[in-house]
Chains A and B, each alone.
Chain A
Amino acid sequence: MENILNIFVKSIFIDNMIFAYFLGMCSYLAVSKTVKTSLGLGLAVTFVELITVPVNYLISKYLLAPGALAWLSPSLADVDLSFLTFIMFIAIIASIVQLVEMIVEKYAPALYNSLGIFLPLIAVNCAIMGASLFMQERAFANVAEAAVYGLGSGIGWLLAIVAIAAIRERIKYSHIPAPLRGLGIAFIITGIMAISFMSFMGIKL
């Protein structure tokens, strides 16, 4: 239990997808112009990560890892399919994103319209692929830990995109040097936010 809480807090604040790994920057910068849309996208990403990370965990544990097929029959114990990891992960992610897209289109058409092109692009959102790959690298003990990690890193991403959207809404009224306006200042603000997030580094539960 303690371990799960630790993973959760760590994945939100310390291993934050944006501030520590720069993952999901494309949609982060492009959609963070208003708080409302960024909240929607953030929720979608969190939801997709919550599902894809544990699913990918099971896939990599029972299908792809070296010797993972041994549960099917002992003769398969030597099979190592780990070279298929990337393609399996991205296929799972793409299909789940497709599912989310259909659900959002049906039940929340307004949100669907405002997210526009970015919903299908979630599939290539590095934060989601990244979460699955980091999950694999960290070798979590069970599927619950993996799910919590997915949820946590999704929430971390949500936090980051909503925060920057709020700042960008305000910054419109400031006098920024013309060449820095928009993209340039967004990068620098993100950098400064990342510095402040570094203060969470020592947290251990």
Chain B
Amino acid sequence: MSIFSSTTWEAFTRPLGKDNPVTTQILGICSALAVTVQLKPAIVMAISVTAVCACSNIVISLLRKYIPTSIRIIVQLVVVASLVIIVDQILKAFAYDVSKQLSVYVGLIITNCILMGRLEAFAMSNSPLDSFMDGLGNGFGYGKILIIVAFLRELFGSGNLFGLQVIPQSFYEVGYMNNGMMIQPPMALIIVGCIIWFIRARHEEMQEK
């Protein structure tokens, strides 16, 4: 990793592992669990969030010395909102089916706490390159959780992955049934709860007292 200094690389890797925005900082779960019923929209959502997060981090980091403190939240919101609009327009033009599935949740990327959290905590005080890597890392860390949840829900909820049936028909014939509960909203919460349980059982220092 000669082109990256160690801190830059760390800005990327930390949120992927121990500092995961969803499981440890409780950020950003809001706007997206509803798109985890199927894998495809979840992946598009993860990519969109990563793109917006990385780009807005760069923009804010470049502007960080010029943004007046008193209006910085508004400036951050404006930058994020414009990037989200661009993503939304691009999805509508090039991935129309998926954009229909995501419906209002694309707009809700604006209020994804990860974005504002990273802008405030990282991009306001770091160089553009570090911020970019931090944005990518957080986006991926977030996407990782989203994709795990979507994988479990689609597999057990409807027996499909990416809309294709993966659980063989013979299973159904001997009495296997899809778990209808999996596609209902509550299961997303319970799965995230279990993921947190799993991660914290492995890293004792993360447990709450």
Closest to A194 in B: B186
Majority-rule SS of B interface residues:
helix
Cross-chain contact B186 with A179 (CB below 8 angstroms): no
The docked-state distance in angstroms from the alpha carbon of A103 to that of B47 is: 39
Known: A24-B30, A26-B27, A191-B190. A179 touches B197 (CB 8 A): yes
Cross-chain contact A179 with B200 (CB below 8 angstroms): yes
Chain A residues with CB under 8 Å of B201's CB are 177, 179
> Does A111 sit within 8 A of B, measured CB to CB?
no
Chain A residues with CB under 8 Å of B104's CB are 130, 133-134, 136-137
Chain A interface bracket (under 10, 10 to 19, 20 to 34, 35 or more): 35 or more
A-B pairs with beta carbons under 8 Å apart, 28 shown: A21-B34, A21-B185, A24-B30, A26-B26, A26-B29, A29-B26, A86-B88, A86-B110, A87-B85, A120-B73, A124-B116, A125-B111, A126-B112, A127-B30, A178-B207, A179-B199, A179-B204, A180-B196, A180-B200, A181-B209, A184-B193, A184-B196, A188-B194, A191-B186, A191-B189, A192-B186, A192-B190, A198-B184
Cross-chain contact B73 with A183 (CB below 8 angstroms): no
Residue among A21, A181, A183 having the largest count of chain B Cβ atoms under 10 Å: A183
How many B residues have CB within 8 A of the partner chain?
49
Chain B residues with CB under 8 Å of A83's CB are 85, 88-89
Chain A residues with CB under 8 Å of B81's CB are 86-87, 90-91
Within B164-188, the residues touching A (CB, 8 Å) are: 184-188
Besides A121-B113, A187-B192, 7 new A-B residue pairs in contact (Cβ under 8 A), listed by A number: A22-B30, A29-B29, A85-B107, A86-B107, A87-B85, A123-B77, A181-B208
The docked-state distance in angstroms from the alpha carbon of A136 to that of B103 is: 11
Cross-chain contact A86 with B84 (CB below 8 angstroms): yes
Cross-chain contact B78 with A87 (CB below 8 angstroms): yes
Within B69-124, the residues touching A (CB, 8 Å) are: 73-74, 77-78, 81-82, 84-85, 88-89, 103-104, 107-108, 110-113, 116
Cross-chain contact B110 with A190 (CB below 8 angstroms): no
Within A120-145, the residues touching B (CB, 8 Å) are: 120-121, 123-130, 133-134, 136-137
Q: Out of A22, A86, A94, name the residue touching B188 (CB < 8 Å).
A: A22
> Does A59 sit within 8 A of B, measured CB to CB?
no
Chain B residues with CB under 8 Å of A166's CB are none
Residue among A29, A129, A177 having the largest count of chain B Cβ atoms under 10 Å: A129
Measured CB to CB, the closest approach of chain B to A89, in angstroms, equals: 8
Interface of A toward B, CB cutoff 8 Å: 19-26, 29-30, 83-87, 89-91, 94, 120-121, 123-130, 133-134, 136-137, 177-188, 190-192, 194-195, 198
Interface of B toward A, CB cutoff 8 Å: 23, 26-34, 73-74, 77-78, 81-82, 84-85, 88-89, 103-104, 107-108, 110-113, 116, 184-190, 192-194, 196-201, 204, 207-209
Chain B residues with CB under 8 Å of A85's CB are 107
The docked-state distance in angstroms from the alpha carbon of A201 to that of B85 is: 33
Known: A94-B74, A134-B104. A30 touches B197 (CB 8 A): no
The docked-state distance in angstroms from the alpha carbon of A86 to that of B109 is: 10
Known: A23-B108, A126-B111, A133-B108. A191 touches B197 (CB 8 A): no
Chain B residues with CB under 8 Å of A180's CB are 193, 196-197, 200
Cross-chain contact B200 with A86 (CB below 8 angstroms): no
Closest to B73 in A: A120
Chain B residues with CB under 8 Å of A186's CB are 193
The docked-state distance in angstroms from the alpha carbon of A30 to that of B15 is: 19
The docked-state distance in angstroms from the alpha carbon of A134 to that of B32 is: 15
Measured CB to CB, the closest approach of chain B to A150, in angstroms, equals: 15
Known: A23-B108, A123-B77, A129-B111. A30 touches B26 (CB 8 A): yes
Chain B residues with CB under 8 Å of A126's CB are 30-31, 108, 111-113
